[in-house]
Structure 1
């Protein structure tokens, strides 16, 4: 599984580091702004010029936004599966709405880095 995240977003970079720990290295993390991230975004039909949602590519399947986060949590370690269990109790429309609010305000609430975060494999 490959997770494409906004490398300038403090929240997104922190989530990516947490995923690396949850998946014990069994996930590839790529900043959307990296050359490889841009290529994958275009290949799977996501706008590469405006990274707005986390994207997951797993084989030939891809998803973004709240669906991607739920997929990531469902397939991670015990803690992430617990978070997935909690979120699954909410209506999907609420999960999508909460995701949009956080995504739209992520720089304001959590900050924006001056340079893109690189997370080594």
Structure 2
């Protein structure tokens, strides 16, 4: 979930809005917003379901520094 300028985005829409703020070629991925949301969300769900199998999993969580921590809702 992404809350940006008072708007709430979920699943693939949230991910693509985050990508729009990244530098370089990542921004180009935001063009995928033109694909209908149900199709994007289906692909998002497949990736979410298999992410640990495909990309691995860490045994420890990273503790965010104060600069990053202030970006989280409490």
Residue 21 of structure 2 corresponds to 75
Q: Please list, as runs of the form range in 1=range in 2, the aligned pairs for 1:1-121 lying within 5 A after superposition.
A: 55-85=1-31, 87-120=32-65, 121=67
Structure with bigger gyration radius: 2
Instruction: Point out where structure 2 has 5 or more consecutive residues left out of the alignment.
Output: 68-74
Q: CA RMSD in A?
A: 2.2
Higher relative contact order (CA closer than 8 Å, sequence separation 6+):
1
TM-score under structure 1 length normalisation: 0.44
TM-score by length of 2: 0.65
More helix by share: 2
1:1-21 deviations in Å (ceiling 9; x for gaps): xxxxxxxxxxxxxxxxxxxxx
Is residue 16–residue 30 contact of structure 2 (8 Å, CA) maintained in 1?
A: yes
Higher strand share: 1
Equivalences, count: 66
